[in-house]
Structure 1
Amino acid sequence: MIVIRATLPSKNLPVRRVLAKLFQSYVYKHLPAKEHQGYKHPSGKVFKSMNFKILYKDYNLIIKYVSHNKNYERRIAEAVLIDGLKLGEIHIASTELSLHNREIELGKKIKVQGYVAAAIKDGHSNKKIYLEPKTHKYQEIIHKHTEQKYQALFGKPYEGDLKIKLLYQSRKPKRFFYNKGAIVVWHGVYEIEAEEKMLKLILDTGLGAHAMQGVGFVEVV
């Protein structure tokens, strides 16, 4: 995992709505076109092999980026070190970069926390309705989504056990902005039981929808 710490010259600039889109563009600029296109599941659904999280407060911008392909983490790290972090017209006063090894004794069970999104389409307006983690439909979607991502990235179905248990859900959701839309997500803590290869995939690519839009990043607690 790469952690980028940047300092902006002014406090709380009105850029929160565009940060995810700008960082996504920065990443794709330095990687093969295949990563922008994604990995297609037989159902037609497309999945991404990486994930990121953005924290912005006062003058400080923190970006955590992780990829299933560790060579891509090195590419982004080199790009930041050589050319600096470039996010559109946003001026970055200073940048620090660190690499974190997420190799841990996974076993077959981990506890993670993060903002994990799942939605259904409104039958009348075709708008997305974001679901709370405590609902049965949410859990059904996340489980299916995770198994499909495994098949899309590895080229074969996942045949092991997969249990995703909600331990905690925040009372109120948080809005994550991407382009002109908002993704509504509740913070949750989850206990996940699966084969080690699946657990590593989850840590490297996130859980749920919008992985390359700043949502779904999970960390072991």
Structure 2
Amino acid sequence: MLIIKTKLPTKNLPIRKVLSKLFQSYIYTVLDDKEHDGYKHANGKVFKSMNFKIAYVENEIHIKFVALNQADEKQLAEHTLFNELKLGEIQLTQTNISIVERNSKIKSPMRVGGFVCANIKDGKSSKKIYLEPKSAKFQEIIHNNTIQKYEALFGKPYQGDLKIKLVNQKPRERIFHYSKGVMKAWYGVYEIEGDEDILAMILDTGMGANCMKGLGFLELV
């Protein structure tokens, strides 16, 4: 896991709604085009092999970035270290970088927490309806999505068992912004049983929708 701590030149710049988009663009600028294109499942759905989350308070930005291919973490770290970190036209200062090994103690079941996103389309308006983790439809979508991501990223069927159990969920949703779009997700704690490679994949690529828009980032709890 790559951790970036940096500062804006002034406090409270109105960039919160575009930060995820700016950092996503930065990632794709640094890494190979394949990571931008993603990995296509047989059903046509495209998955990404990376995940990040951003916290922004006053003039400080804290970023956590993970990738299935840990060479991508190293490449992004080296580029950020040897070049000035710039998100769009915003020049950042006092940038500190560290890489933390996070998958060395994976065992099944693992307990993780984070904001996992799942949605369905309203049949009448085609608007997205964001689902709470406690709903049966959410759990069905997340289970199927995780299996499909494994198959797309590894290029083979998943042969093991996978159980994703919601332990608890916070009652209120949080609003996330990506460019001009708005997404909703609830913080949940999950107990996940599966083979080591799929558990590592979940930690290294996130779970659910919009993992390259700042959602789906899970940490051991």
Map residues 24-173 of structure 1 onto 2, 5 A cutoff. 24-173=24-173
Structure 2 CA distance for aligned equivalents of residues 89 and 198 of structure 1: 38
Q: Which moved more, 1:82-91 or 1:205-214?
A: 82-91
Q: CA deviation at 1:70?
A: 0.6
1:208 equivalent in structure 2: 208
Q: Does 2:219 match 1:219?
A: yes
Q: CA deviation at 1:40?
A: 0.3
The letter for the 1-side match of 2:177 is F
Structure 1 CA distance for aligned equivalents of residues 204 and 218 of structure 2: 9
Per-residue CA distance 1:121-145 (angstroms, 9 max, x = gap): 0101111110000000000000000
Per-residue CA distance 1:65-124 (angstroms, 9 max, x = gap): 000001100110011001121101223122110110113322221000000000000101
The letter for the 2-side match of 1:152 is A
| Long gaps (5+) in structure 2 | none
Structure 1 CA distance for aligned equivalents of residues 206 and 145 of structure 2: 11
Percent identical pairs in the alignment equals: 56
Q: Which moved more, 1:161-170 or 1:104-113?
A: 104-113
Tell me the secondary structure at the aligned position of residue 209 of structure 1.
Answer: coil
Tell me the secondary structure at the aligned position of residue 204 of structure 1.
Answer: helix
Q: Does 2:187 match 1:191?
A: no
Structure 2 CA distance for aligned equivalents of residues 128 and 84 of structure 1: 38
Structure 1 CA distance for aligned equivalents of residues 120 and 25 of structure 2: 27
Structure 2 CA distance for aligned equivalents of residues 5 and 65 of structure 1: 11
Supply the RMSD in Å over aligned alpha carbons. Answer: 0.8
TM-score, L = length of structure 2: 0.98
Structure 2 CA distance for aligned equivalents of residues 183 and 37 of structure 1: 22
Tell me the secondary structure at the aligned position of residue 190 of structure 2.
Answer: strand
The letter for the 1-side match of 2:90 is I
2:18 equivalent in structure 1: 18
TM-score, L = length of structure 1: 0.98
Q: Which moved more, 1:100-109 or 1:134-143?
A: 100-109
The letter for the 1-side match of 2:71 is N
Structure 2 CA distance for aligned equivalents of residues 62 and 106 of structure 1: 25
Q: Does 2:21 match 1:7?
A: no
The letter for the 1-side match of 2:4 is I
Tell me the secondary structure at the aligned position of residue 17 of structure 1.
Answer: helix
Q: Is the 2:121–2:127 contact (alpha carbons within 8 Å) kept by the matching residues of 1?
A: yes
| Long gaps (5+) in structure 1 | none
Structure 1 CA distance for aligned equivalents of residues 18 and 176 of structure 2: 10
Structure 2 CA distance for aligned equivalents of residues 187 and 91 of structure 1: 32
Q: CA deviation at 1:205?
A: 0.2
The letter for the 1-side match of 2:207 is L
The letter for the 2-side match of 1:148 is Q
